[in-house]
């Protein structure tokens, strides 16, 4: 029997497309964001707002009612959080989308997986969840919380036969930066106006030379997720080795280096 996979934050050419042999329920807030995915015969599209308890329950129950089970959940939905002086409503909304949303989906799927004593939750975090960088601090914080959440869930889900895999991508070519550019702005009269070019640079950094194509990233995540014993953590993407090295260096030096790297004013 093919495995049933629920994926949040889907886009054409991403994780959904790479799950060959699986029955995939691809979700996003808007159907048009998943244009082209419906051409795949084993992919079903659903709208899903991960910040809504009711919407998450609706989709999870619909998948179980139709497919009879959920074998894998991939929490891929998320937004950036570029800038300084973030208003609290933005802080709350970003945590809701990036961290609480993943927990909502995992909690909703948990009873169905636990009953069958089988299942895998894949949380897509980020290397900046381990190494915080200036001007992307809000995003870094949400992903740090997700990494910790993945560690906790891996322990607390284990008695029920479930596994958790935390993925920490580095530079991956995607539309996350272009989506952020549409909504990004500094508050009027911001004291950080002189650093605006640095913020724009940081926003686009993951899309530069050496970034791993989305499809290649998705294929590797899927390959690991479908193994008999998926790893608890996976780091991949362009310049991932840099972040692996930084984790072994003194934190004070790493923070000094990160600030120096991303605070060069013209």
Report helix, strand or coil for 122: strand
Distance, in Å, from the CA atom of 139 to the CA atom of 57, rounded to the nearest integer, reads 26
Burial class (CB in 10 A: 0-12, 13-18, 19+), 47: middle
Distance, in Å, from the CA atom of 213 to the CA atom of 61, rounded to the nearest integer, reads 33
Is 139 noted as a catalytic residue in this protein?
A: yes
List of residues 6+ apart from 110 with CB closer than 8 A: 157, 160, 162
**Residue 177 to residues 196, 203, 225: CA-CA distances in angstroms?**
15, 6, 26
CB 135 within 8 A of CB 92: no
Number of H helices, E strands in the chain: 10, 9
Residue in 17, 100, 139, 241 annotated catalytic: 139
Phi and psi at 50, nearest 5°, equal: -70, -10
- Residues involved in catalysis: 139
């Amino acid at each position: 029997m093919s495995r049933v996979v629920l994926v949040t934050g889907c886009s054409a050419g991403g994780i959904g497309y790479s799950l060959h042999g699986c029955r995939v329920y691809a979700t996003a807030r808007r159907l048009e964001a998943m244009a082209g995915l419906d051409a795949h015969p084993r992919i079903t599209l659903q709208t899903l707002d991960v910040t809504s308890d009711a919407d998450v329950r609706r989709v999870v129950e619909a998948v179980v009612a139709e497919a009879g089970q959920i074998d894998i959940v991939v929490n891929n939905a998320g937004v950036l959080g570029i800038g300084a002086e973030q208003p609290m409503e933005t802080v709350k909304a970003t945590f809701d989308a990036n961290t609480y949303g993943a927990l909502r989906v995992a909690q909703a799927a948990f009873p169905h997986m636990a009953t069958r004593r089988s299942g895998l939750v894949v949380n897509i975090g980020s290397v900046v969840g381990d190494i915080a960088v200036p001007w992307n601090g809000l995003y870094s914080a949400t992903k740090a919380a997700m990494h910790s959440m993945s560690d906790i869930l891996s322990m607390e889900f284990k008695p029920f036969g479930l596994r958790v895999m935390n993925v920490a991508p580095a530079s991956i070519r995607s539309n996350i930066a272009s989506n952020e550019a549409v909504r990004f702005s500094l508050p009027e009269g911001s004291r950080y106006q002189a650093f605006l070019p640095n913020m724009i640079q940081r926003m686009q950094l993951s899309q530069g030379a050496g970034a791993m194509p989305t499809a290649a990233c998705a294929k590797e995540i899927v390959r690991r997720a479908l193994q008999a014993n998926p790893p608890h953590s996976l780091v991949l993407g362009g310049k991932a080795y840099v972040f692996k090295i930084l984790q072994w260096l003194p934190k004070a030096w790493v923070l000094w280096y990160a600030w120096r790297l991303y605070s060069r004013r013209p």
